[in-house]
Every structure is written in structure tokens, then in C-alpha cells.
Chain A
Amino acid sequence: MKSGSGRPTGPPVRGRAAVFATAALLVLLLVLCLLSLLIGTGSSSPARAFAYLTGDAAARADPQLRLAVVDVRLPRTLAAVMVGLCLGTAGCLLQAATRNPLAETGLLGVNSGAAFAVVVGLTFFGASSPTALLVWALAGGMAASAVVLLLAASGRAAGSPLRLVLAGSALGATFHGMTSYVLLGTQSTFDVYRYWTIGSLAGVRTSELLPLLPLVAVGLAVALGCARPLAALGLGDDSARSLGHHPGRVRLVVAGAVSLLAGCAVAVAGPIAFLGLLAPYAARAVVGASMSGQLVLSALIAADVMIVADLLARVVIRPWEAPVSVLLAFVGGPLLVWIARSSRLSTAGAAS
């Protein structure tokens, strides 16, 4: 097994790799965004869509094309980028804060809280429009993670990774059980729920995305601000304290940011937690220990993978729409297995 000592890796090389990867991923993201605007399930051909984008007068005049590109594909593309950035950043933050490389964004109870709220909204309050579901999901995710944070912040070991994770998974399980309970009683709710839980970006509207932007912005800003304290936390709590950070408090702030970001993502795209596990994992494989590098790369990787999954969702079973979470799994699952097997993150010294 070739571990780090076998090759001449110094920080400069890794650093250059990180810059290169960032640039490549950015370019890829732009290309994918363009593709996402050009390709769709509908009848409008990519060439016509391209003409529309370049300002071709004839194309601009076509109302159907306008509908396809501006009202359907643009919000969808924006949503994919936003969800990707949110989940990538949130997953990376959470993995660093819990010191658990297997943590994913559902861990703080966001997903199960959102699912429970959606089910409650559907069953008892007659919410059925996509916007109403989005609001319910957002509120539920936030409320659940707030409870988790409160639990984790109490007691002597306030803000310890174990407390965060345990509180999150325990409450998540309870919400999951209650969701199942409500669903088993009401067939009509179940019918809507089973499409919500699969996750989809189809039908997202710009008017729904805009109100979320401030939340996302706050979350991302906190994330960037936390890069240094989190890197210090990576050295162990005692070292972090001697560097002037307060580990418990840092973790709670980070967890707050994570629930903001993950809550927005879940509200838009349904409970897609897997991306928040995969992206940081991949980012670590590229940049190693650098925290800010991981954050940026993780966000970009997640955005790229999300757009790819969404693009595939539109084309694989054309003219129907495939569930995006399924395609995410098909793209991400093998990727995760491949990274796990490609040895850099496997336990050192485990000789073949």
C-alpha cells in the first residue's frame, strides 16, 4: 500500500493540486450549467435553446422556448447549484465538527424533521402545493435541528461530537417512526409523500428560491468564517483551546450553519443526504487536510454532481423524469466505493 511517505508530497504540491482542482471544477460547473439550460425533457432542441441564449431574435420571440429555458430550466439549474453548494458545504462542516468522516447532513435531524413536517402538513393542514411543502419542510428541518442543538448544548459535555451525533440520530429515528405512523394511517398523504421523499428539482420556481437565498448566504458566510476554528479543532480540543478557540461553542455555531444550509437544500430538493457525505469525502481525497480547501472543493464537487444527476434525471428515461435522488445514488455510490478503495483514506499499515 503506497501511503503518503512513498511519494514526495509537500504542502506546495497539494496546494497546487487544490488550485488546479478548484479551477477545473469551476469550469466544469459553468459547462454543466450551460448544458443544463440547453437540455431538457421537452421538445425544444439544444440548438434552439442555444440560439435563445445567444440572443437570437427569432428564438427570443418563441414563447414556448422562453418558457422552457427561462421558466423551467433556469430555476432548475439555479436550484441544483444552490442545493449542491449547500449540501457540500454543510457535509464538510459537519464532518469536521463531529470529527466523523461518515457524518452526513441528515445527521442533525434535518431530513427526518422535514419529512415529518411535510407529512403533518399534508395530513392535518391540507398543504399540497409545492410552495407549501417547501415551507413545511424548511420549518420542520429547522425545528428538528434546533431541538437537536438544544440537547447537544446542554449538560457537562456541551457541544461534544458524540453528543451532537447521538442527539441527532436519536431524534431522527423518533421523527422517522412518527412519520411512518402518520403515513400508515393516511393513504392520500402517502401518495404525495412518496414522491416528495424521492427528491426532485422539477417544477422549482425562481420565486421559491429567492427567499431562501439570504439563509443560504448566512450559512455560507458562517461556514467560511468557521474554516480556521474548525482546522484548529482538527488538532484536538486541547490544542484548539490553547489556540484561543472554544471547541463546544464552535461546534454549535457550525451545527447551526449546517442546519440552515441542509434545511434549505431539503426544502428545495427533498431529503438528499448522501451528497453531503460523498462530496467532503471526495474533497478530502484531493486536498488532504486543508480545511478551507476542503470546504471550497466539497461545495463545488457537490454542485457538479448535483447538476450531473439532475441532467441525467431529465434524459435517461425521456420523456419522463427520473427521480434525482436515484440518479444521485447511481452516480455517487460507485464514486464513493471507488474513492474508499483507492487507498489514500484507508487505514495505514493494512498491508494487502
Chain B
Amino acid sequence: MTTPMTDAHPGLQVRGLHAGYPGRPVVQDVDLSVPAGHVAAVVGPNGCGKSTLLRTIARLHRPTRGAVLADGTDIWKLTQRQVAHCVALLPQSPRAPEAVTVAGLVRYGRHPHQGLLRQWSREDERAVRDALEATGTTALAGERLDRLSGGQRQRCWLAMVLAQHTPVVLLDEPTSALDLGHVVDVLTLVRQVAAAGRTVVMVLHDLASAARYADTLIAMKDGRVVAQGPPQEIVDEALVKELYDLEADILRAPGDACPVVVPRARG
């Protein structure tokens, strides 16, 4: 697995966060606290502000109000480079440099740690190797990224984010466009990342996998958090109705009683 974060760190706190565009608030009054080693999944209908929330946490978008504390520090008091030491984000559809190899891509994850006098340290090397191993992409290291399948490519991107060695990892729909097997692969990997002591916040579309793999579920609608807590406690018919305006049955998975949402036909 990835190198465990030795010191317990405070994880991620979001306080009274408002964000959006002039005249169009997108995220309103969001409070979150995700401790180290936890996986939080943000769910909600399209356009509810999930991605904007994630971008704001990653310092890509300036909040109109409120604060984001990664590792105990307000990220707007840091430089972009310092933020890259504590928060890593995998965007929804990232674009890689032309003709980059898998190892090349993962090496870019070390960029925040490098400088004119520190271009390729042993630590960089170790981080890249670990990230490749953790994601099972070791055998692909020399391949060109654009010649891989979607599932392989997504694992490579994850490897890059892991190599960045940040206490907080943000993933924007890491499983979109993947088949069920790869979805499980990626989410299992996410659990392992958290087990190593990192904080993971991810946007997910699929309520069922969110419920199964997240410690905390954050349900958003119209820019506000409508429910927050362990999936077993908060996923019910009312929540599904509120989020998606959908009648659904909530079943319990045999074994761990994890909620499974079965929508009823509309009309």
C-alpha cells in the first residue's frame, strides 16, 4: 500500500462555505468535517454544486464566504504550491499531455515536491513506485497513456494523485464511464488509500456504491447539504425522493445491511 501517513492529521474541515458566480450562488453554507482515514462521498442530482464544492475545497475556486481547512490550515492562506502539498484533486475528465507514458504521468504527481535543486529525489522515486504498485499499474509503466483502456487510464490518474502524497485526496466522479468490475477496483483502492491515513472526499453518482464504500455520505441539493452521516443511517426513501424526486425502495444488502436503492418506475 501507499506509505502510511505517520502523524495523525486533522483531516478536512469546511466551515460555512459559500461559493458561486456573480449573481448565481452554487454552493451555500456547507459545513463538513472529514477526519483522517475517512472516506466521504458527495451525492446529489446533476448541477447541485458537487463539483463546485470539490473545486472550492481544492482552491480552484474562491469561496464567497467561509473557509476550507486542510490539515488544519486555511488553504487561502497558502500558495498554490503549498496547497498542492496537502490537497490533491482528480478532476472529472482530466487531460494529459500528449504522448505521455504512464510512469511519466505518475511522475507529474511529484511536481509540487520538486524544484531547481531537487528534481528527482529518492523520495520521489519511492512515491512513484508505491503509487504504481498500489494501483496495479506497474506493468503498464512504460505504456503510452492514450493507448490504454478507460479503466486502466483511470487507475493511472489515481496513481498520479496518490504519488502527490497529500493528506487530503479529492476525486470527482472517479468511477464514471467504468464498468462494474473497474468501479469496484477503484473504490476498493479508495478504501485502501483511506486506510493508510488519508482523507478522501469523492463525488459519486451511484448512490449504491457511495453507500457501500463511504464512511460518510454527504447529500447535496441546490447547493446545500440536505443530509450528512453514515450511509446506513441517512439513506432512506425520503432522501431519495428529496434528492432525485424519485420513488424508490431501499433494500438492505445481505451481509452488511448496506442500503441498496431500487427506483420504482416513474408515473
Do chains A and B make direct contact within the complex (CB under 8 angstroms)? yes
List A residues at the B interface (Cβ < 8 Å). Answer: 1-2, 5-6, 351-352
Q: Is the CB of A6 within 8 A of B61?
A: no
Interface size on B, residues (CB 8 A): 5
Contact B61–A351 (Cβ < 8 Å): yes
10 example contacts (A-B, Cβ-Cβ < 8 A) are as follows A1-B21, A1-B22, A2-B22, A2-B23, A5-B24, A6-B23, A6-B24, A351-B21, A351-B61, A352-B22
Q: In the assembly, what is the distance between CA of A6 and CA of B22, in Å?
A: 10
Closest to B20 in A: A351
Q: Which residues of B contact A6 (CB under 8 A)?
A: 23-24
- A284 and B182 alpha carbons, distance in the complex (Å): 43
In the complex, A72 Cα to B11 Cα: how many Å? 80
A5 to B23, CA, bound (A): 12
- Write the residues of chain B forming the contact surface with A, with a CB cutoff of 8 angstroms: 21-24, 61
| Residues of B close to A2: CB separation below 8 A | 22-23
A342 to chain B, nearest CB (A): 15
A351 to B61, CA, bound (A): 9
A-B pairs with lowest CB-CB distance, top 9: A351-B21, A6-B24, A1-B21, A6-B23, A2-B23, A352-B22, A351-B61, A1-B22, A2-B22
- Chain B residues contacting A5 (CB-CB under 8 Å) are 24
The CA of A5 and the CA of B61, in the complex, are separated in Å by 19
* Least Cβ–Cβ distance between A9 and chain B, in angstroms: 15
A340 vs B31: C-alpha distance in the bound complex, in angstroms? 39
Residues of chain B within 8 A (CB-CB) of A1 are 21-22
Q: How far is the CA of A1 from the CA of B26 in the complex (A)?
A: 13
Within the assembled complex, what's the spacing in Å between the Cα atoms of A5 and B24? 10
Chain A residues with CB under 8 Å of B24's CB are 5-6
Whole-angstrom distance between the alpha carbons of A348 and B116 in the complex? 35
> For residue B21, which residue of chain A has the nearest CB?
A351
- Say how far A1's CB is from chain B's closest CB, in angstroms: 6
Closest to A349 in B: B21
CA distance A352 to B23 in the complex (A): 13
A351 vs B60: C-alpha distance when bound (angstroms) = 11
Look across to chain B and name the residue whose beta carbon is closest to the beta carbon of A1: B21
CB closest residue in chain B, given A352: B22
Cα distance A5–B47 in the bound complex, in angstroms? 12
Known: A6-B24, A352-B22. 8 other contacts (CB 8 A): A1-B21, A1-B22, A2-B22, A2-B23, A5-B24, A6-B23, A351-B21, A351-B61
State in angstroms the CA–CA spacing of A2 and B20 once bound together.
12
Complex-state Cα separation, A1 to B21, whole angstroms: 7
A352 to B61, CA, bound (A): 11
Chain B: which residue is nearest A2 at the CB level? Answer: B23
Chain B residues, CB < 8 A from A352: 22
Which residues of chain A come closer than 8 Å to B22, judged between CB atoms? 1-2, 352
Taking the closest CB of chain A, its distance from the CB of B161, in whole angstroms, is 22
User: What is the distance, in angstroms, from B61's C-beta to the closest C-beta of chain A?
Assistant: 7
Q: Please, which residue of chain A has its CB at the minimum distance from the CB of B19?
A: A351
Closest residue to A5 on the B side, CB-wise?
B24
Report the bound CA distance from A351 to B21 in whole Å: 7
Query: Chain A residues with Cβ under 8 A from B61's Cβ?
Result: 351
CA separation between A10 and B61, bound complex, in Å?
Answer: 29
Q: Shortest CB–CB separation between residue B149 and chain A, in angstroms?
A: 20
**Docked complex Cα distance between A2 and B21 (Å):** 8
The CB with the most chain A CB atoms within 10 A, among B21, B23, B24, B61, is that of B21
**Chain A: CB-nearest residue to B55:** A349
